[in-house]
Each structure stands twice: as C-alpha cells, then as structure tokens.
Amino acid sequence: MAKSDFPGWHGTTIIGVKKDGKVVVAGDGQVSLGDTVIKGTARKVRRISPGGYDVVAGFAGSTADAFALLERLETKLEAAPGQLMRASVELAKDWRTDKYLQKLEAMLIVTDGDALLVITGAGDVLEPEHNVTAIGSGGNYALAAARGLMDSDKSAEEIARTAMEIASDICVYTNGNLTLETIG
C-alpha cells in the first residue's frame, strides 16, 4: 500500500474549559483508521507531574507523536518548574525548528490550573480568549457548544461534558467515552 493510499489515523475531540477557578480537560476515547473504529477506550487526557508540579494535557493526532511531545514538555517543565507558559514556548520553538520534531503530527491542550494553552507544530502557543478551547476533528463542534454554555450556571466540568456529548453526536470520529481531568 503506497503512503498516499493509506487512510491515516483520524479524529478525536479534546476540550479545555476554564471557569470559576477550575480547568477541565476532557477527551473522547475513539481511535479510527480511515472509516474503521480501531479502539473506543483510548486515554487522550493525562496528568503529568514533573517535579511535583501538576499539569493536565490532552492530545489530538498521532499517539506516538503526542507522547514524544509530552515527554519533551515534561523535560521543559523540569527545567522551568512552575512556568507552563515558558515551557510551552520552548517546546513550540523546538517543535518548529528541530528536524525530527517537525515531522510529528499532533496538537496539545495543556493547563496548570492557571494558564490554558494550545500548542501546535507551527510554533504556536495559543491562549483562548473565552476560557475555552478545543482541538481535533470534533473540536469546532465542542468549542461552539462550550462557548454557548459559558454564561450559564453550569460548572467547567458540566460544560465540558455537555460540549463533548454534542460533539460526539455530530462528529463520526468522536465517541462518548470520556476521560476527564480537573485542575485548580
């Protein structure tokens, strides 16, 4: 099978919601290859604690690539304890300029309970304007749903759960099997 014929890994939805001193990162569990669901219980949201400093990260894209990036982020956080923004910028710079890292296909949402960031391979470290961000194939659906709920009485967790439920109803590459981590 030629590389151009390979259907590729597809999908996922990861959302980060910051409200009332809490930040929730939630992700679905579906892994698809082309139009086939390979696994429905993947864990794409993880807590890392370099040097006792809690960070929650969610990833979309290639799992192996995301784990390579999470390891690099942990190393950056060990070098700059308690400085998520600095560590994220350093990771994004490496990702953009390192010949090996440039080939990695993933995106990350990271938080330490204070900052909520999206890190991309284009060298971006983005902080959302409305305290909510989402990535992956169902990301725009989850983002729209969460933005619509931010002024409600719902908690960050309730908003994330509802937004993910809506995204899983719309995006065929997203399922309702959630992993959810709260920080802050």
Q: Residue ranges per domain, the chain?
A: 3-172
Q: Please name every residue paired with 19 in a beta bridge, in sequence order, or none if there are none.
A: 22
Is the pLDDT assigned to residue 2 strictly greater than 50?
Answer: no
Cβ atoms of residues 181 and 25 within 8 Å: yes
Is the pLDDT assigned to residue 9 strictly greater than 50?
Answer: no
pLDDT class of 123 with cuts at 50, 70, 90: confident
Q: Of 12, 13, 174, 182, which residue is the catalytic one?
A: 12
Does 111 qualify as catalytic in the annotation? no
Distance in angstroms (rounded) separating the CA atoms of residues 22 and 29: 23
pTM for this model (two decimals): 0.91
Report, in this order, helix, strand and coil percent for the chain, each rounded to 5.
35, 30, 35
Is the pLDDT assigned to residue 1 strictly greater than 80?
Answer: no
Please give the class, per CATH, of domain 3-172.
alpha beta
